[in-house]
Structure 1
Amino acid sequence: MEFERVVPASGNLQVAGKQFWLGPARAGLTVTFWADTSVIHLLVAGTRIKSVRSHLSVADLAQLAARGGRSAGPAPLPAGDAAAFEVDRFVNNSGLVGLAGHQVLAAEILGGRSAGIWIDGETLSFFDPSSRELLRVRPNPLTSEEIQRLRGLRPAGPPPRPSVEPVRVQRRVSATGTVMVCRQVVSLGRTYTGQTVTVHVAESTITVELDGQVRVIQGTTDIPVRHVKANKPREVSDVV
């Protein structure tokens, strides 16, 4: 799907509940959105300026079509001098990788594993080397000269795509009957204090397994999962 939006004076565009920061310097410009359920590309005057993981569902795309959207052509991926490349790197325990002298944050949750990095002029897309599942997208701090000097550089394969499966995590219910998931407080009730619950985090929903039943909560943040395991319960000696 393709559609246009004009950047407001604040520089902060909003589409289907998600904000896209473009900056006040771009106020008044018309931005073309190329969107599907996997990725969203933003273009100004035909030039791609940003790519982010999509939060849109099939229903969202249908609503955008009804509001003037149109069927899109091929995804605006880099070509020619702006061709994409790939490298493989090990993510350290702090979630960082080294690229041409830059320490780039992949994600804390990726610490201790290898990741492929799909590099274009605007973004670094971290992906699983075996499945090409998209794991994280970060701004690209590298110049074209730095990219060309990267160890193990190779022409890019197909762009990585997000998994359609939700992320499965565990959380321990607090004394107030809540759990924290992606910085969103989810209330479950004091009855469950101290219990460990399984939570499935999808693009727009948080699903909690509780007493053999499932509760579905609307997600209110776009912050990625950082911790998979539940917090260790406090001992009496831990309390000051």
Structure 2
Amino acid sequence: MAVELERTVTAIGLVALGGRFLQVGSPLAGQRVTLRLDDHLIHVIADGRLWRTLPSPIDPATRRRLRGARVAGPPPPIEHDPIRVQRRVSCRGQAQVCGQRIQIGLPHAGKIVTIEIGDDHFNIYDQHETMLCMVPRTTTKEVTRYKAYGHKAASA
């Protein structure tokens, strides 16, 4: 069963939850946010809009014992499209996004791929928008680079 609770975000973008601190984002500093704890996710809701989704460090048995916990209402509406970024695949068939290395495959080395970032997974597409693979997301870091730039080989 999902529960909701409210917390105030600290000056550095943290909220306290069950003796732990969660990074919800420094743009929310000083604001009151609603945290919705679902199965294995925490949805951060600010001003009635879904701000971020994080993996939950709180097990389902202890959710109801959290300070200020109440039965959750309807889930927040999702108003945004998934974020899409481009990355150049390394000579070893890897790319990195949100601090996570993704193995795409050696046949795609040197090519630029598009990565669609979901809450709990990455979808990787080639230049023809054909899906190459789907990889589980293990980090909570935000995107800092959106565009990939190919490098020219050094001439000998």
**TM-score band (shorter)?**
0.5 to 0.7
Query: Which residue of structure 2 aligns with residue 59 of structure 1?
Result: 61
Q: Which amino acid aligns with 2:38?
A: D
Would you say the 8 A contact 1:124–1:139 is kept in 2?
no
Q: Is 2:122 the partner of 1:126?
A: yes
Higher RCO (CA 8 Å, separation ≥ 6 residues): 2
The structure number with the bigger radius of gyration is 1
Give the corresponding residue for 2:69: 69
Deviation for aligned residue 1:56 = 1.7
**Aligned partner letter, 2:26:** G
- Aligned partner of 1:139 in structure 2 is 142
Q: CA deviation at 1:133?
A: 7.2
User: For the Cα contact (< 8 Å) 1:42–1:50, is it kept in 2?
Assistant: yes
On the 8 A contact 2:117/2:123 being kept in 1, the answer is no
The answer to which structure has the higher helix fraction is: 1
Name the Cα RMSD after superposition. Answer: 4.2
**Gapped regions of structure 1 (runs ≥ 5):** 98-103, 147-240
Distance 1:74 1:91 in 2: 41
Cross-structure match for 1:4: 6
CA contact (8 A) 1:96 1:105 kept: no
1:107 aligns with 2:110: no
Identity of aligned residues (%): 25
Q: What letter matches 2:142 in structure 1?
A: P
Shift of 1:117: 5.1
d(CA) in 2 for partners of 1:54 and 1:112? 27
Change (3 A) 1:117 1:136: farther
Cα displacement string for residues 53-103 of structure 1 (whole angstroms, at most 9, x for unaligned residues): 111211221212xx3312223433523xx234779x896548525xxxxxx
Give the 3 Å change call, closer, same or farther, for CA 46–124 of structure 1 in structure 2: same
Q: 8 Å contact 2:120–2:136 — kept in the other structure?
A: no
1:46 Cα shift?
0.9
Matches within 5 A, 1:68-107: 68-79=68-79, 82-84=80-82, 92=90, 93=92, 95-97=94-96, 104-105=97-98, 107=100
1:95 touches 1:107 (CA, 8 Å); kept in 2?
Answer: no
User: Quick one: distance in 2 between partners of 1:74 and 1:117?
Assistant: 30
Structure 2 counterpart of 1:26: 29
Alignment of 1:184-195 (within 5 A): none
Instruction: Label 1:77 to 1:126 Cα distance change in 2 as closer, same or farther (>3 A).
Output: farther
- Under a length normalisation based on structure 2, what TM-score does the superposition of the two structures give? 0.57
Structure 2: which 5+ residue stretches go unaligned? Answer: 109-113, 125-130, 148-156
In 2 relative to 1, CA 77–141 (structure 1 residues): closer, same or farther, beyond 3 Å? farther
Q: What TM-score do the two structures reach when normalised by structure 1?
A: 0.40
Matched to 1:140, the amino acid is V
